[in-house]
């Protein structure tokens, strides 16, 4: 990742001291925005124009698509939702036909929905020139047809399914003062900057002075995510809340399994190819297929 991109993201997190004025706004990164073509569509009674912007993120493998149309419905229980496998696009609690089609694009590894944007992450050895046109077409088709981009389904057809997740930064009645302050700072100072870069942040707990967080979207696979957590978010929380000693990023069970499986694959590769062999991203031309 380019140092200038990381610096832009980290400075957005590193906020000045709180003052009585809350009207300060970060400048719009217009240099990163590319204007897309307009698509007029004829409905039964009215005509709509579909306008989609694409915006670079600090993660070179993630691109942010911004349609002139809400992505999450107004009554959506959380601030974002992420799909990292085709199965997750069909299963409760938030099935999404569009996410299923986007994950079907060769080279796409994950889809992330924010309130008004879609972040598409690709594998590292895929060129955006091969991915972007098809992704752009699928999003345009979904928006122009008026289909529901994401739904909320509490249970599957068999009556089973995970519970609908709520926004982790919402302050609850049983939160103590420290947790409430942590959530408020994350929601008002950190989340806007991270969403601007195509991601989101989740609060996972506070134990023995350690704040447990989870980065989503473009930030989840960003090379500078650790720097962002330590130099940006951790510094700010420790500055305003003396009870905070450090922060840690939490891995989901699927990510831990993936890391373990990748480590096993690397070890197998070393045994077959030699100690200097390194694994590449899964694909037809990767070393996964060379064994």
Residue 12 lies in a domain: no
Burial of 228 (0-12, 13-18, 19+ CB in 10 A): buried
Closest of 269, 291, 264 to residue 279, by C-alpha: 269
Give pLDDT, residue 263: 65
- Which has more pLDDT, 239 or 164? 239
What is the DSSP code string of 210-277?
A: EEEEEEEETTTT-TTHHHIIIIIIIHHHHHH-TT--EEEEPPPHHHHHHHHHHHHHHHHHHHHH-TT-
Residue 83 lies in a domain: yes
Domain range for 173: 168-279
- Which has more pLDDT, 131 or 165? 131
Domain CATH number, residue 80: 3.30.1370.70
Query: How big is the CA angle at 225 (ends 79 and 80), to the nearest 5 degrees?
Result: 10
Say whether both 61 and 128 belong to one domain. yes
Domain CATH number, residue 212: 3.30.300.130
Q: Does the pLDDT of residue 78 top 50, yes or no?
A: yes
Residue 194 lies in a domain: yes
Q: Does the pLDDT of residue 243 top 70, yes or no?
A: yes
Say whether both 108 and 175 belong to one domain. no
Query: How many Cα atoms are found within 13 Å in the side-chain-facing hemisphere of 284?
Result: 3
pLDDT-wise least confident of 13-27, 37-51, 268-282: 13-27
* Range 50-56 average pLDDT: 89
CA gyration radius for the chain? 20
Closest of 14, 50, 59 to residue 215, by C-alpha: 59
Q: How many C-beta atoms surround the C-beta of residue 109 within 10 A?
A: 18
pTM beyond cutoff 0.85: no
- Which has more pLDDT, 21 or 204? 204
Q: Does the pLDDT of residue 240 top 90, yes or no?
A: yes
Q: How many Å apart are CA 190 and CA 15, to the nearest integer? A: 9
Bond before 93 cis per omega within 30 degrees: yes
CA dihedral 191, 196, 199, 203 (to 10 degrees): 0
Residue 287 lies in a domain: no
* Range 158-171 average pLDDT: 66
Query: How many Cα atoms are found within 13 Å in the side-chain-facing hemisphere of 256?
Result: 5
Closest of 90, 219, 193, 106 to residue 151, by C-alpha: 90
Say whether both 194 and 248 belong to one domain. yes
Residue 17 lies in a domain: no
């Amino acid at each position: 990742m380019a140092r200038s991109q990381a610096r832009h993201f980290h400075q957005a997190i590193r906020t000045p001291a709180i003052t009585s004025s809350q009207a300060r706004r970060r400048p719009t990164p217009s240099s990163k925005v590319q204007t897309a073509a307009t698509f007029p569509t004829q409905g039964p009674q009215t005509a709509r124009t579909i306008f989609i912007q694409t915006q670079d993120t600090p993660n070179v493998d993630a691109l942010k698509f911004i349609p002139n149309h809400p992505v999450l419905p107004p009554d959506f229980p959380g601030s974002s939702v992420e799909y990292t496998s085709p199965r997750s696009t069909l299963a409760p609690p938030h099935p999404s036909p569009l996410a299923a089609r986007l994950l079907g694009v060769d080279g796409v590894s994950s889809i992330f929905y924010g309130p008004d944007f879609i972040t598409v992450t690709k594998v590292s050895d895929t060129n955006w020139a091969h991915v972007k046109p098809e992704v752009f077409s699928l999003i345009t088709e979904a928006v122009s047809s008026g289909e529901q981009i994401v739904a909320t389904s509490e249970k599957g057809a068999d009556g089973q399914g995970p519970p609908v997740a709520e926004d982790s930064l919402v302050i609850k009645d049983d939160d103590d003062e420290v947790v409430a302050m942590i959530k408020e700072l994350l929601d008002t100072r950190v989340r806007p900057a991270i969403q601007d870069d195509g991601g989101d942040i989740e609060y996972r707990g506070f134990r023995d002075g350690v704040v447990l967080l989870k980065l989503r979207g473009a930030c989840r696979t960003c090379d500078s995510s650790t720097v962002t957590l330590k130099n940006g978010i951790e510094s700010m929380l420790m500055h305003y809340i003396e009870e905070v000693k450090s922060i840690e990023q939490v891995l989901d069970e699927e990510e831990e399994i993936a890391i373990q499986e990748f480590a096993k694959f690397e070890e197998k590769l070393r045994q077959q190819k030699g100690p200097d062999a390194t694994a590449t991203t899964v694909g037809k031309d990767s070393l996964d297929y060379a064994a």
